[in-house]
Amino acid sequence: MPLAHRTLPTPAAIGRLLLGWGAVLALALAGPALAAPLPGAPLALLLAAIVAVILACAFGVVQEAEHLAARLGDPYGSLVLTLSIVLIEVVLIVAVMLGPGEHATIARDSVMAVSMIIMNLVIGLCLLAGGMRHRGLLHNRAGTSAYLAMILVLGSLGLAVPAVLGTSGSLDARQEIAVIILTTLVYAVFLARQMGPQAGDFQEVSARPAPSADAASADGDGDGDGDGDGGILAVLREHRPEILGRLGLLVATVLPIVLLSHDMAELLEIGLSRAGAPPALAGLLIAMIVFLPESITAVRAALAGQMQRAVNLCHGALVSTVGLTIPAVLVIGLLTRQEVVLGESAVNLLLLGTTLLLSAMTFASRRVGAIHGLAHLAVFAVYVLALTAG
């Protein structure tokens, strides 16, 4: 059966799985030996080996995600990659909170780093690379506007409100419960609308004239492409073995990336402390590695002229990160009586506000390009400058 063969992992996929999980097992077994301080050269070699394994697994994730996206279409294909990575990232943050030591600012630092990476570095690269190849890129302004609205509201609830209403960046129990409920409700409704009645807002647009109202009505979902709820359900029924097989393979390949990133974080902190660099820089580098598969897929989509797919991956990842991380860490904080510091510094709030304003101006245009990308990359450079100066 041809369909059955497509659900089986290829030799290359099996090799990546063995490489990733083998590295995780090797690090676990070598834990006692790595507990002692490593000299500079072995530390650098170990870091390089971990990064190489992560890159190999990342390309495997990208491959499976692209197959799923081609089969499911957007926004469903992008959601598979986004949610698989974001959910594992949230689990990693929660695991750190439940572990030994004080980690009051881990959620704040993670969300801020992810925001700057996705909205400035990755989006900037997409716009710059795609814009230079295609001169201009079209995006679906309805979907992009919805993303930016969610990022503004959820980001304000998670990072700005605690800085204004909280004490030293922390909310009291009553305020935390309110933020948990509101964030969860807003994110759940957004996700339901994105996957249901407004799915067409997150699909690619073309330079062709929009379909007439009669054609859109006959299409059934208002976007003129026939890919409404009935379409996705039909695809799931017809290709269930292949979709489930690729989804399982994607998750199995993502897990080593996150687990190895956790080990790499400790080595990076040691290396950066020896070099006199700020500890927060390690969090930035880890966030870049964790979201590497999504970043690669987004840039490749932009190079192919699929700007809305790049937007779905980038902005969708940030909406999911904030919408899932903030409630999760606040619930853990309430249950374990840990202090959770969410309020950001004035400098980071300024950079976040600048990023949101720049994003609104960038995507207000129907056609975006390299100049917009250059502006976003400049803001990311300022963020790195502020981070290293701190």
**pLDDT at position 7:** 46
Instruction: 21-26: list long-range contacts, CB under 8 Å, 24+ apart.
Output: 21/256, 23/49, 23/50, 23/53, 23/256, 23/260, 24/256, 24/259, 24/260
2-389 maps to CATH 3.40.50.1100: no
- One-character DSSP codes across 49-70: HHHHHHHHHHHHHHHHHHHHHH
**pLDDT at position 247:** 82
C-alpha span between 308 and 24 (Å, rounded): 35
Average pLDDT over every residue of 260-285:
75
In tens, the pLDDT along 212-235 reads: 444 443 343 444 444 445 566 776
Q: Answer yes or no: are the C-beta atoms of 286 and 268 closer than 8 Å.
A: yes
Percent of the chain with pLDDT over 90: 39
In tens, the pLDDT along 41-70 reads: 888 888 889 888 988 888 888 788 778 777
- One-character DSSP codes across 223-290: SSSS-SHHHHHHHHHHTHHHHHHHHHHHHHHHHHHHHHHHHHHHHHHHHHHHHT--THHHHHHHHHHH
- One-character DSSP codes across 318-349: HHHHHHHHHHHHHHHHHHHT-----PPPHHHH
C-alpha span between 302 and 318 (Å, rounded): 18
- One-character DSSP codes across 347-375: HHHHHHHHHHHHHHHHHHSSEE-HHHHHH
Of residues 326, 261, 328, 329, the one with CA closest to residue 293: 261
Global pTM reads: 0.80
More reliable by pLDDT, 213 or 21: 21
Tell me, rounded to whole angstroms, the distance of Cα 76 from its chain centroid: 15
In tens, the pLDDT along 131-168 reads: 999 988 999 999 999 999 999 999 999 999 999 988 88
Neighbour-count burial for 281-296, b at 16+ CB within 10 Å, e otherwise: bbbbbbbbbbbbbbbb
Q: Which residue has the tokens 């890919």?
A: 227
C-alpha span between 276 and 198 (Å, rounded): 49
**pLDDT at position 153:** 96
* Farthest CA pair distance, the chain: 71
Average pLDDT over every residue of 244-253:
84
Q: Which sequence spans correspond to the domains of the chain?
A: 2-389
Q: Answer yes or no: are the C-beta atoms of 376 and 130 closer than 8 Å.
A: no
